[in-house]
């Protein structure tokens, strides 16, 4: 998979592109775990909590979008 990530998008075949998108999904899932841990720190700041919730919602939306794109790639 490392080679697929390092290749330019135009030179990736369908399998490599799916691997790259899967790696992106995994990274977004990790990012959400970090954001969840920050949100459980009870920052006692309404604006910070609102921003964290927005970031988590944006991450979830991006993850869903990438997952849909990954399923659309033909083998």
Q: 20-43, pLDDT tens digit by residue? A: 999 999 999 999 999 999 989 988
Percent of the chain with pLDDT over 70: 87
Query: Which phi and psi (to 5°) does residue 18 adopt?
Result: -65, -40
Q: How many CA atoms lie within 13 A of 5 on its CB side?
A: 8
Domain that holds residue 67: 2-72
- What would you report as the CA-atom Rg of the chain, rounded to the nearest whole angstrom? 16
Domain total of the chain: 1
> For residues 52 and 21, what is the distance between their CA atoms, to the nearest angstrom?
24
Count other C-beta atoms under 10 Å from residue 28's C-beta. 19
> For residues 55 and 50, what is the distance between their CA atoms, to the nearest angstrom?
9
């Amino acid at each position: 998979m490392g080679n697929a990530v390092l290749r330019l998008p135009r030179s990736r075949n369908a399998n490599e592109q799916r691997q790259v998108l899967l790696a992106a999904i995994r990274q977004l899932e990790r990012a959400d775990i970090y954001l969840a841990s920050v949100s459980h720190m009870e920052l006692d700041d309404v604006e910070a909590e609102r921003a964290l919730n927005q970031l988590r919602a944006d991450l979830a939306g991006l993850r869903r979008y990438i997952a849909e794109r990954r399923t659309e790639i033909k083998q």
